[in-house]
Structure 1
Amino acid sequence: MSTTPVLSAPPPSDKTDAADLRGFGYKPELRRGLGSYASFAAGFSFVSILTTVFQLFAFGFSFGGPAFFWTWPLVFAGQFMVALNFAELAARYPLSGCIYQWSRRLANATVGWFAGWVMIIAQIVTVAAAAIALQVVLPSIWSGFQLVGGDPALTSTSGATNAVILGSILIALTTLVNILGVRLMAVVNSTGVTLEIIGVVAVVVLLLVNAERGPGVVFDTGDAGSGLAYVGPFLVSALMAAYVVVGFDSAGELSEETRDPRHTAPRTILRALAAAGIGGGLMLLAALMAAPSLTDGRLATEGLPYVLTGRLGETGGRILLIDVAIAVAVCTLAIQTAGSRMIFSMARDGVLPFSAALSRVPARTGTPTVPAIVVGVGAIAVLLVNIGQAALFTAVTSVCIVMLYIAYALVTIPLLLRRRKGWPNGEEATGTERGGRLFALGRFGIVVNVVAVVYGIGMILNLGWPRQEVYDPAGTHWYLHYFSLLFVGGALLLGGLAYLRYRSRAHALNPRLSFPAVVPAALEGETA
């Protein structure tokens, strides 16, 4: 990677951050209260390995056996290529709703609008998917959390109903935290992430201490096949890692609330993904080494909770499950925060319905209130689908990950096209708020970008491929088999109709679509 010389600058301040934002044509309205750790926590908690690995371990193992472990480093490597590109963009466009903002600046108003639209839908559904994980955890800690009926299984009527109740309560609380302000959100999120990291370390250490087989277990394909026959099951099991390793861009979503964002956001995007990748890989390895049995079928149905309670006993397992419940809560909070910033960013450009209300920021809190409520209400509505339609809910939450990858591709593909024309051109003259050098890939930019694009397209195809075993394992509904294609097609069609309504406003943004000659923040602050 390379760096470029920049003009010297005095120490950064909120004034220089605000002046930098004005250079993009936006009035500073959001309150800057996030430091480096809070920014890191936003990205790490969206990925939330303690939530998602617990939730999805059984899925990956059931299809690929112990060797499904190798899908994790492969997906992590591909996503890190994406993250490197995002880090370069975060240094140059420190704006809320970053996927939308980056896409429309790299391509045009139309591409940017669809990137934002797809991201909003994905984030709302992902909030619901994260919140429902409470049902997997809380009744295992204490039976009193099963408020309805006696069967906690998500596929049962009572379990599904209870999952909606617990998830709705959690979403109501995260909405309240978001409404009260970014500083409270940061405190809650950072505290939760700290506990989650402690929990990840504890899980890895305790399971390794109780291991009964060596690391060579990761070469065992189990009953999934061998040689070329294992390729199909391996690709399906890769969906587990693909579902988990997303959301690291949240540090960019909160750029306008982060101090020194040109310096901070690129680093925290990469650190959040690296920490999640290393921690998640170690959790998978430790669980496979410590599992009481690889062949009794329980690992493929119960996943990590089975390993914890089997190796650490009921008491030790419950203590760690409490930490998992905390991780679920902060994960839900982080995703909702990112989604609300995406809605706010598009609304202030006037390209969404009810833009005036969605873009309003109360001076008292410095936080967009209505977008947080919209995301919360939308997520609860998605949760309600789980009652009596557990298979449909699973299909919806699976497809939302496809939507995230599509949104990422709507950034990396236009970026590659711009690189071929010489991007970032003269923007390298801009420095960080501290007078340092912007994060840059330099001569490696094209190679990294190409890998990111190829990986992204490959994962979109793998995630969206109409497999019955993924989208309709019971084989009862034909539309579930093709649900990924139907959902993505329907979302794009609905988005197209909405875009036609706001197309004139979107294209009025064309003056901002070219790369402005933004002067260093410190110098602009002197003239503001």
Structure 2
Amino acid sequence: MSTTPALSAPPPGGAVDPSTDATDLRGFGYEPELRRGIGSYASFAAGFSFVSILTTVFQLFAFGFSFGGPAFFWTWPLVFAGQFMVALNFAELAARYPLSGCIYQWSRRLSNATVGWFAGWVMIIAQIATVAAAAIALQVVLPSIWSGFQLVGDDPALTSSSGATNAVILGSILIAVTTVVNVIGVRLMAIVNSTGVTLEIIGVLAVVVLLLFNTERGPGVVFDTGGTGSGLGYVGPFLVSALMAAYVVVGFDSAGELSEETRDPRHIAPRTILRALAASGIGGGLMLLAALMAAPSLTDGRLATEGLPYVLTSRLGETGGKILLIDVAIAIAVCTLAIQTAGSRMVFSMARDGVLPFSAALRKVSPRTGTPALPAIVVGAGAAGLLLVNIGQAALFTAITSVCIVMLYIAYALVTVPLLVRRSKGWPHEEGIARTERGGRLFALGRFGIVVNVLAVLYGIGMILNLGWPRPEVYDPAGGHWYLHYFSLLFVGGALLAGGLAYLRYRTRSPHSWRPLTTVVPAGAEGETA
């Protein structure tokens, strides 16, 4: 079983000794290798940019509206509330296990090496697919800003041959750039990411304010189902439209992924996880409401096909619309960067424990940059390779990007379920003993922990079923391929089977890597058995 090290009191005057973070990490059995160049805002930016509401709401508004009408708005606060229950549990874990590759680390320390390995495996697959999905979104934006970005053919639609090919080119260029940024070092990544997030927040505020000054109707529009159903007949369309919010509100755990590169992570990471999700939830909800109130028409069909870009260009004109599109393109770039960074830290964390093929190479950290370069290259290459599926198979790529969200929810469940089991046995035990780097109490849910954890587990299982349900209108809208109808089940089953085979083979080769971990508690500090 692992031990959660507790920190001794901080130096007089409230300052935090830089060596405190290093001592804390050694308490988990790891030597400090990554550079701690991330502060509070950069940590917040990592989570906010992964969610990237300006990117994802922009892309997926039409999807939600087409199935649920204006009342699909209510899926947003429901999904946000469910994910906030998950985030509260993650914040508690981030304070106690400030480690890179947090989903993997939390899962295995709460349960065992096998469950932890599968949590990491599922997360890596999901993150690689999500990098590709984020990068390909450039095709939706750049040709609309300037026709010169359409490098192949003249049809920018993702469903066309030229549009799909151009999307692969633009996406691959973006992934190459984000890979270089990641290889150069975490400090540059933090600067780029923080700058991009600042611009994205400004863009979100601008969209909300400008649309609210151009409203056509009042907020009561959110009670209109738009003819998609009524009473119990609206449950089905509502559940499908909820996938829009479920696709968006993920990735807030990125602040935990970068814990070993964050200063004072026990204090900062829990707070930035919650702040990133709260800011995304409030900003995204206001964008949805403002768009519904400002849309020129709810019945002409354009909201269901063109979505938010239709509202912006109609209300703000071509110039104003293009300025906001540039901001969306920036948001897409930093979103891709943040996801790739999180994915590379997951690969590094597992390789450091020797539980991945080629672990010796994947766990190397550049002494010059303090960054694991090869994991970033692996994640980038995997995402670029996945982009190639979009050439001539746009429906298949859409299905893959949908399923990657299912995988993220499964990885989250592999943390929240073991955590609930541990809570039933009295976890955590250290209240009043362990401290943050600044001498404060660790973030804790206290007596509400069990309730919050149960809600998180129920929400997660329910959303996994909703996301993975083989609906033809989601996975095979054209009705041309039977396997797309059941793609979610086939993909998740295949990923778990491949993971099982890889796990068995690698465990046989390196059984010593799977012995229960023991960690060293810093001298003079007390801890609790986790």
1:386 and 2:390 correspond = yes
* Cα 1:6–1:290 shift into 2, 3 Å: same
Q: Is the 8 A contact 1:6 1:436 kept in 2?
A: no
* Cα 1:429–1:311 shift into 2, 3 Å: same
C-alpha displacement of 1:16: 0.8
**Aligned position for 2:47:** 43
Q: TM-score, normalised by structure 1?
A: 0.96
1:511 to 505, 511, 516: 516
* Cα 1:512–1:519 shift into 2, 3 Å: same
**Aligned position for 2:267:** 263
1:230 to 227, 230, 234: 234
1:475 and 2:479 correspond = yes
1:15 and 2:19 correspond = yes
1:346 and 2:350 correspond = yes
**Aligned position for 2:290:** 286
Distance 2:386 2:222 in 1: 36
Distance 2:360 2:289 in 1: 50
**Aligned position for 1:122:** 126
C-alpha displacement of 1:512: 1.9
**Aligned position for 1:454:** 458
Describe how 1:3-402 pairs up with structure 2 within 5 A.
8-10=9-11, 11-402=15-406
Deviates more, 1:358-367 or 1:8-17: 8-17
* Cα 1:58–1:506 shift into 2, 3 Å: farther
C-alpha displacement of 1:426: 3.0
Q: Deviations over 1:455-486 (max 9, x none)?
A: 00000000000000000000000000000000
Q: Is the 8 A contact 1:430 1:519 kept in 2?
A: no
Q: Is the 8 A contact 1:118 1:491 kept in 2?
A: yes
1:493 to 489, 497, 514: 497
1:443 to 440, 447, 471: 447
- How many residues align? The count is 517
Q: Is the 8 A contact 1:67 1:218 kept in 2?
A: yes
Q: Is the 8 A contact 2:23 2:522 kept in 1?
A: no
Look up the equivalent residue of 1:260 and give its one-letter code.
Answer: D
Q: Is the 8 A contact 1:426 1:517 kept in 2?
A: no
Deviates more, 1:24-33 or 1:502-511: 502-511
Distance 1:87 1:506 in 2: 32
Q: Is the 8 A contact 1:189 1:330 kept in 2?
A: yes
> Which secondary structure does the structure 2 equivalent of 1:385 belong to?
helix
Distance 2:215 2:292 in 1: 8
Distance 2:394 2:478 in 1: 11
C-alpha displacement of 1:427: 6.4
Distance 1:294 1:318 in 2: 23
Look up the equivalent residue of 1:276 and give its one-letter code.
Answer: S
Distance 2:515 2:221 in 1: 55
C-alpha displacement of 1:222: 0.4
C-alpha displacement of 1:449: 0.1
Distance 1:138 1:420 in 2: 51
Is there any run of 5+ residues in structure 2 with no aligned partner, and where? 1-5
Q: Is the 8 A contact 1:8 1:436 kept in 2?
A: no
Deviates more, 1:249-258 or 1:504-513: 504-513
Q: Is the 8 A contact 2:185 2:369 kept in 1?
A: yes
Q: Is the 8 A contact 2:102 2:346 kept in 1?
A: yes
Q: Is the 8 A contact 1:109 1:506 kept in 2?
A: no
> Which secondary structure does the structure 1 equivalent of 2:516 belong to?
helix
Q: TM-score, normalised by structure 2?
A: 0.96
> Which secondary structure does the structure 2 equivalent of 1:512 belong to?
coil
C-alpha displacement of 1:8: 3.5
* Cα 1:107–1:399 shift into 2, 3 Å: same
Distance 1:325 1:404 in 2: 24
Distance 1:249 1:287 in 2: 28
C-alpha displacement of 1:13: 2.9
Q: Is the 8 A contact 1:110 1:506 kept in 2?
A: no
Deviates more, 1:220-229 or 1:118-127: 220-229
Q: Is the 8 A contact 1:29 1:366 kept in 2?
A: yes
Q: Deviations over 1:157-198 (max 9, x none)?
A: 000000000000000000000000000000000000000000
Look up the equivalent residue of 1:300 and give its one-letter code.
Answer: A
> Which secondary structure does the structure 1 equivalent of 2:390 belong to?
coil
Distance 1:428 1:90 in 2: 17
Look up the equivalent residue of 1:194 and give its one-letter code.
Answer: T
Distance 2:360 2:64 in 1: 44
Look up the equivalent residue of 2:322 and give its one-letter code.
Answer: R
C-alpha displacement of 1:501: 1.8
Distance 1:107 1:506 in 2: 18
Distance 2:234 2:439 in 1: 52
Q: Deviations over 1:301-357 (max 9, x none)?
A: 111111000000000000001000000000000000000000000001010010011
Distance 2:407 2:151 in 1: 33
Q: Is the 8 A contact 2:42 2:190 kept in 1?
A: yes
Distance 1:338 1:486 in 2: 26
C-alpha displacement of 1:517: 7.6
Distance 2:75 2:226 in 1: 15
Q: Is the 8 A contact 2:126 2:408 kept in 1?
A: yes
* Cα 1:215–1:199 shift into 2, 3 Å: same
Q: Deviations over 1:387-445 (max 9, x none)?
A: 00000000000000000000000000000000000101136521001111100000000
C-alpha displacement of 1:374: 0.4
Q: Deviations over 1:58-81 (max 9, x none)?
A: 000000000000000000000000
C-alpha displacement of 1:506: 6.5
Distance 1:331 1:283 in 2: 18
Q: Deviations over 1:241-294 (max 9, x none)?
A: 000000000000000000000000000000000000000000000000000111
**Aligned position for 2:3:** none
Is there any run of 5+ residues in structure 1 with no aligned partner, and where? none
Q: Is the 8 A contact 2:108 2:114 kept in 1?
A: yes
